[in-house]
Amino acid sequence: MTTWITICDTCKRDGWDQSGATVTDGETLAALIETAATGVAGLRTRRVACLMGCKTGCNVTVQAHGKLSYTLGSFEPVEDAAAGIVTYAALHAESATGQVPYRTWPQAIKGHFVTRHPPLPDAAGDTA
């Protein structure tokens, strides 16, 4: 089963407007995550225009069918953050439920969780 890292490529951290940057912080983080995820089994990445978490940009989601999904934010667009996100997503891919034991979390993602969502039910009326 594939775990997806969805990256908001429109995120702009405080001060971006004054930085003179020609790409958004989200685009920078997305490129770093895509590079870090290259060749990692069970992972795919995609970019979206907005995850509506502007107060906690840069934002990503980690999700897979039938598993817990997570939104993480407040990342700086740097290699360490991207590597931590990819490492966590790989652990998510290996987990049957999407839950990853805290002791195995990379330091770079600790303190960045925004939300956790239960998996959607498989059929109408299911409460799983």
Domain spans of the chain? 3-117
By the 8 A CB rule, do 36 and 46 touch?
Answer: no
Measure the CA angle with vertex 96, ends 75 and 63; round to 5°: 35
Query: Where does residue 54 fall: left (phi above 0), alpha (psi -120 to 50 degrees), or beta otherwise?
Result: alpha
Pairing mode of beta strands 3-8, 113-117: unpaired
In CATH terms, 3-117 corresponds, of 2.60.40, 1.10.8, 1.20.950, 3.40.30, to 3.40.30
pTM of the model: 0.92
pLDDT class for 21, splitting at 50, 70, 90?
confident
Measure the CA angle with vertex 11, ends 9 and 13; round to 5°: 145
pLDDT (0 to 100) of residue 12: 84
> Rounded to the nearest 10 degrees, how much is the dihedral formed by the CA atoms of 96, 38, 115, 68?
-10
Tens of pLDDT, residues 30-89: 999 999 999 999 999 999 999 998 888 899 999 999 999 999 999 999 999 999 999 999
Please, which contacts does 107-111 make with residues 24 or more away whose CB atoms are closer than 8 Å?
A: 108/80, 108/81, 108/83, 108/84, 109/72, 109/84, 109/85, 111/74
Question: Which residue is listed with tokens 């590079």?
Answer: 35
Question: Which residue is listed with tokens 């069970």?
Answer: 42
